Amino acid sequence: MTRKERFAGIVDWFEKNVPIAETELHYGNPYQLLVAVILSAQCTDRRVNIVTPPLFERFPTPQDLASASFDEVYPYVKSVSYPNSKTEHLIAMAQKLLADFNGEVPSDIDALMTLPGVGRKTANVIASVVYDKPVIAVDTHVFRVSHRLGLSNGKTPLEVERDLERHIPEHLRARSHHWLILHGRYTCTARAPKCAACGLTDWCKQYAEEAAGTR
């Protein structure tokens, strides 16, 4: 099976079986999504969704967050991973958002990556979810699933991102990120992938190798 055929089969399956795929983070505007994605680094969306309602109530705008002290923000995020650095990132992000972007979350990837706490993955999430940009954010789930399925052999998230964007049509890229991340979160899990419940085994490279005894 060629990579082109594998991509075609997998994308077609997702289109037919998972027509709606969206972020599981709860947010009401671009600022809130940006905060939530920063908090979600190496942390579950479920935990972030518990943390953000009181955080957003206390700091509803970038202006509110930018003027806050570390000690004011920390109690709201102390239950997420790396709370000290994330507290610092959130405040600095809000300050730079005001100073450089008039409090508006930018749509440009490079501009987003100038914000503290925002790497390429976070920037791509914001660009695709908020602004419908044809980019694919590669987190640990997307990286793992892409390798197992045989969609990419990339050694870095950026290499995987480029492989995915090379083969997935622009109008499906934003949804494809959610297809792959949700598949990795609930089916193609890290320690015990649920292959018996997976609809992608016909195209999965790792599944074929294990069935043939070559892995």
Active site residues: 121, 139
- SS3 string, 100-146, reads HHCCCCCCCHHHHCCCCCCCHHHHHHHHHHCCCCCCCCCCHHHHHHH
Separation of alpha carbons 157 and 160, rounded Å: 5
Q: What angle do CA 52, 36, 169 make, to 5 degrees?
A: 145
**Which residue is associated with the tokens 């954010």?**
137
3-state helix, strand, coil in the chain (%, to 5): 65, 0, 35
Contacts for 122 with CB less than 8 Å, ≥ 6 apart: 34, 37, 38, 41, 112, 137
23: nearest Cα among 121, 157, 143: 121
